[in-house]
Chains A and B, each alone.
Chain A
């Protein structure tokens, strides 16, 4: 048992060495087929989907990606969890629809004339395509986020030899976002307590940005020196590789899949740049 009473999970080390027990809350073994894929495999899948959504022209790219994303979501059983991510794209997709439908350059096939406004069929088609691309991109990233803990991904990249500084930057950035949001909320409350109006209309909110941004940015900067010293005092610049806590399964099939996806994505980019994908519907 770990110190807190949670069960210990034995993990294999190098051949011949005794198994080492990590607490279950550190080992955090993922459940289900898709979640159990190696984090880097899921990253590569998401990357390939995002690239294809934007690089493959016409309807083919975004629709194909949406089908793949839906399949992944079904495998991971996260279909419902994707709804908020799809809804989050609404402000952007509305602006895409309006701009393209009404202002598509060179389009003459009017749907209807409303005074000076003339929405076109070409514009509407381009707008729907662009909207599907944005939704496909957002959902491909969402599937990665919903099935992969940030520290699992960072840990796997570390195991693959990504430098400790790069890993630290990625890891601290991921974990810094919610902290900064909390700090911003604290500063906003403090400013309100001093009679600064940060609620209400747009002007009031804009006026509240500077008093918020100042303490937020300067507060983060003043911490940097002490954080740097604390890192040095904990051996951050030690030579050699850091100890890896968790090794994620990474079978031959997954490695092959990653290479296929990676090389396939490069090929699609090359074909698109060369204009060979123009014929796709």
Chain B
């Protein structure tokens, strides 16, 4: 049971340059893998390819293999993939259905699409809302939420499908510090409480530092390094690649530059 990319290369239609180059990685249930990289490094494309949405819904050419629990994303139905692999996009507004009058019904959108029984729909919605601590938002209009709340509702909509794998594409990119904290807390709780394999693409390395076991560095579409989160996030190569290390790493470096030793590990978490 894994989500596996095997030498995946992806070119968007009309582009000769691949947005993703020969990427191989494996995500197992329960694992949390962070991906960092500069803008245009191919992070969002990685999410789309891993979820099977590219090339299914975006014109382009995929080489190599992408398998979700042995289902080949090129031949599997998107609805079958949706129940195995959930994806959260950067912009929370565009991923809300736009048809639901309440948050509760918005979260129920996915489970209803796949035809679950009504009692199962109710159970899943209540569970997803409770997992993310947003049950009080249930009667609200999804179109009148703050960015952080909308992102959590979108995440609840994904969770309600009980995917074995979650792909989160910069889930806090448009959020203020409060919204980022909301999503960060929810992710930490989710990671602790669910057995899902999670891939998080993020610029905010502090979040990855908090929740990831492994981190990969994506440069020009290629995965140049994968390793334990603490090691990769402290690697000087990160800054050279245009990624700001987490605060604790910067703090330790500043202390070292001032002649003091500050053990980076002690600041973790």
| Residues in A lying within 8 Å of B, measured CB to CB | 2-4, 6, 11, 13, 17-18, 20-23, 25-26, 149-151, 154, 164, 167-168, 171-172, 175-176, 178-179, 223, 225-245
User: Hey, which chain A residues are within 8 Å of B96, CB to CB?
Assistant: 230
Q: Which of B152-189 contact A (CB under 8 A)?
A: 157-158, 161
Chain A residue contacts of B143, Cβ below 8 A: 175, 178-179
In the assembled complex, how far is the CB of residue A164 from the closest CB belonging to chain B, in whole angstroms?
A: 7
Give the B interface residue count (CB, 8 A). 53
Verify A22–B109 contact, CB threshold 8 A. Answer: no
Q: How far is the CA of A78 from the CA of B126 in the complex (A)?
A: 36
A148 to B118, CA, bound (A): 23
Between A and B, how many residue pairs show CB distances below 8 Å?
149
Bound CA–CA A145/B117 (angstroms):
31
CB distance from A236 to the nearest CB of B (A): 5
Q: In the assembled complex, which residues on chain B have CB atoms less than 8 Å from the CB atom of A176?
A: 98
B191 CB contacts on chain A under 8 angstroms: none
Determine if B202 is an interface residue (Cβ-Cβ < 8 Å).
no
A243 proximity list for chain B (CB < 8 A): 108, 111-112, 115-118, 121
Tell me whether B77 and A237 are in contact (CB under 8 A).
Answer: yes
Chain B CB within 10 Å, residue with most, of A151, A233, A236, A237 = A233
Chain B residue numbers with a CB within 8 Å of A171 are 98-99
Q: B139 near A234 (CB under 8 angstroms)? A: no
When distances are taken between beta carbons in the complex, the residues of chain B under 8 Å from A225 are: 57-58
Interchain CA distance A18-B118 in the complex, whole Å: 10
CA distance A239 to B77 in the complex (A): 10
Cβ B51 vs Cβ A233 within 8 A: yes
Once bound together, how far apart are the Cα atoms of A196 and B83, in whole Å? 48
CB < 8 Å neighbour of B139 from A25, A172, A179, A231:
A25
Q: Report whether B115 and A238 are in contact in the complex, using a CB–CB cutoff of 8 Å.
A: yes
Question: A4 contacts B115, CB within 8 Å?
Answer: no
B81 nearest CB across to chain A (Å): 8
